[in-house]
Amino acid sequence: MNHGKIDFTKTVPYVKQGVENVELPPPPGDKIELFNDTLLVQEFQPNGTITVQEVPLTAEARFNNLKSKLKEVRDELAIAAKDYFKEKVNALFAQHPALQSFSWVQYTPYFMDGDVCEFGVQKELVELNGMTEDNETLNYKVYNKNKGYEPKDDDVSRGGYAAENLIGSFADVDMKRMFGDHVQVQATREGITTQEYDHE
């Protein structure tokens, strides 16, 4: 169908169910709209009115539409979660002046001795202020038999311990949407970066 060019910033008259020239708020765009389980097909007429035809959705169309909506919501959720995570990381750096960077890994194992391989976030840090498992022991926690693990009594250790708790407070599925699979994630005062992580 031929759609005329309409200024959608203004109220326009349109025809619906035999009622003509009813002033309504402008539609969101020159397109077919979806309302509940009905398609609203807009056809712009030469006289400047809009004819709206209501077409019930088929089961297939409803299924495809819901899949599309779910993907949009997941994409929006990933963006919102990442913004929220960054906000919490920035607050963490502000609270611990000696803390400069921390890293963790997250991945789906390739082999689990017959068990299902599932994605997981390894919340214990693999890097803290440049110290890594390869060149130094990351010893930012001590074990208290009455309280369990606690941070050592210095600002870097307290920051690392707080970072570990922050990482663990997000669901694995959200961490995967935010940062991906088979990655090492590093947070610094300049931002958050990822790099490929090699594992078994």
Write out pLDDT tens, residues 11-59.
Answer: 334 344 444 444 444 444 444 455 556 666 666 666 666 666 666 767 8
The dihedral of CA 187, 188, 191, 195: what is its sign? negative
Among candidate residues 135, 137, 175, the one with its CA nearest the CA of residue 157: 137
Residue 126 has pLDDT above 50, yes or no: yes
Average pLDDT over residues 132-146: 79
Q: State how far the Cα of 122 lies from the Cα of 110, in Å rounded to an integer.
A: 15
Name the pLDDT band for 69 (thresholds 50, 70, 90): confident
Q: Is 164 exposed, middle or buried (0-12, 13-18, 19+ CB in 10 A)?
A: buried
The dihedral of CA 162, 166, 169, 175: what is its sign? negative
Name the pLDDT band for 146 (thresholds 50, 70, 90): confident
Residue bearing the bigger pLDDT, 67 or 65: 67
Q: What is the mean pLDDT of the chain?
A: 79
Residue bearing the bigger pLDDT, 61 or 152: 152
Which pLDDT score, from 0 to 100, does residue 42 have? Answer: 66
Q: State how far the Cα of 104 lies from the Cα of 192, in Å rounded to an integer.
A: 11
Q: What is the pTM of this model?
A: 0.68
